[in-house]
Homo-oligomer: A and B are copies of this chain.
Amino acid sequence: MAQIGFAGLGRMGFPMARNLVKAGHQVTAYDVDRGVYAAAEAEGVTTAESIDAAVAAADVVISMVPTGAHVLQLYLGEGGAFAHMRKAALAIDCSTIAVSETRAFHEAGAAAGVATLDAPVSGGVMGSQAGTLTFMVGGEADHFERARPVLEGMGRNFFHAGSAGAGQAAKICNNLLAGISMIAVSEAYALADRMGLDAARMREIVSVSSGGCYSLTHYPPVPDLLPNVPSSRGYQNGFASELMLKDLRLAERAAMDSGLPLPLGGMAAAIYGMFCNSGHKQLDYSGIINLLR
């Protein structure tokens, strides 16, 4: 069992830390918001007053914070984690951040002599709570193998996407497609309705045809086709539209930095942006169908 330093006890990070304790690891956690410490301690998590106290004795450091700026602040600089970690330790950043930011994280780790992985997740808050997250991991293969027993405490699927940054790249590609396809699927369901084609029948037919996709089959924006999806509970408690927008902007930024046109990705970002502006940023991203019909 590993000695784990954990940074970031938010809606995603808190259940991850709890699941690591349940899996038998010793977890020492840090968060800028001390308000969550009592609840964390009740779950068996040890809390620390500073990031260096959280990571000093750790075999593995795991971070789950909102933005790339937080990641860099957490690890770099004099008071940062890299300056206080053991050389033999492994730092795993599970935040979803820009490719350029994750590269800065890896480079600073290498300069400090610490092994690093980028390991963004998919599965959302529900996946975090259930311990069924998917991890897309970038970094050296042997680091990935070292990380796996720890990651298994928090998730179910583990992909080694490639070298440093490849985890973020895979996450960005996935969410680019998920974000576009949800709008496309909303257009298709709305159009089917206008043409008198039953939604359930459309789903059955197209799911096994060339237009089939995850959003159509497993995450339909039309209520009551499936019981346990956000559309069937008023688009609540899903993957917030503002988070999908954030991920699409990471895709746009990476495309822009490399001179790549991204017509549908850019349009999807603009559409979610207008949806968020209309007062719906907390709604699940499948709620976008209501902007169309």
Question: Shortest beta-carbon distance, A204 to chain B, in Å?
Answer: 7
Is the beta-carbon distance between B264 and A291 smaller than 8 angstroms? no
Is the beta-carbon distance between A214 and B215 smaller than 8 angstroms? no
- Complex interface residues of chain A between 41 and 99 (CB less than 8 A to chain B): 99
Cα distance, A183 to B181, chains bound together (Å): 11
Is the beta-carbon distance between B211 and A181 smaller than 8 angstroms? yes
Question: Shortest beta-carbon distance, A219 to chain B, in Å?
Answer: 7
User: Please, which residues of chain B bring their CB within 8 A of the CB of A273?
Assistant: 259-261, 292
Is the beta-carbon distance between B293 and A260 smaller than 8 angstroms? yes
User: Please, which residues of chain B bring their CB within 8 A of the CB of A254?
Assistant: 191, 194-195
- Complex interface residues of chain A between 127 and 142 (CB less than 8 A to chain B): 134, 136
Per-position binary interface string of chain A over residues 191-223, scored 1 when its CB falls under 8 Å from any chain B CB and 0 otherwise: 110111110011011101111111110110000
- Residue A268 at the B interface, CB < 8 A? yes
- Residue A9 at the B interface, CB < 8 A? no
Q: A173-B206, A201-B170, A264-B180 are in contact. Are A194 and B252 (CB under 8 A)?
A: no
User: Please, which residues of chain B bring their CB within 8 A of the CB of A35?
Assistant: none
Using CB atoms, name the residue of chain B closest to A242. Answer: B259
Cα distance, A249 to B262, chains bound together (Å): 12
Most B CB within 10 A of own CB, among A162, A206, A290: A206
Question: Shortest beta-carbon distance, A179 to chain B, in Å?
Answer: 8
Cα distance, A195 to B254, chains bound together (Å): 7
Is the beta-carbon distance between A197 and B260 smaller than 8 angstroms? no
User: Please, which residues of chain B bring their CB within 8 A of the CB of A169?
Assistant: 191-192, 195-197, 202
Cα distance, A274 to B273, chains bound together (Å): 13
Is the beta-carbon distance between A191 and B260 smaller than 8 angstroms? yes
- Residue A228 at the B interface, CB < 8 A? no
User: Please, which residues of chain B bring their CB within 8 A of the CB of A252?
Assistant: 252, 256, 266
Cα distance, A209 to B168, chains bound together (Å): 14
Is the beta-carbon distance between A210 and B206 smaller than 8 angstroms? no
User: Please, which residues of chain B bring their CB within 8 A of the CB of A181?
Assistant: 177, 180-181, 184, 211, 213
Is the beta-carbon distance between B269 and A267 smaller than 8 angstroms? no
Per-position binary interface string of chain A over residues 232-267, scored 1 when its CB falls under 8 Å from any chain B CB and 0 otherwise: 000000000000000001011111101111111111
Is the beta-carbon distance between A293 and B277 smaller than 8 angstroms? yes
Cα distance, A270 to B213, chains bound together (Å): 22
Is the beta-carbon distance between A262 and B253 smaller than 8 angstroms? no
What are 15 of the A-B contact pairs (CB < 8 Å)?
Answer: A163-B196, A165-B195, A166-B201, A176-B187, A178-B210, A181-B213, A194-B258, A210-B214, A213-B213, A252-B256, A261-B270, A263-B270, A263-B271, A266-B267, A266-B270
Q: Write the residues of chain A forming the contact surface with B, with a CB cutoff of 8 angstroms.
A: 99, 122, 134, 136, 157, 159, 161-163, 165-166, 168-170, 172-178, 180-181, 183-185, 187-188, 190-192, 194-198, 201-202, 204-206, 208-216, 218-219, 249, 251-256, 258-271, 273-274, 277-278, 290-293
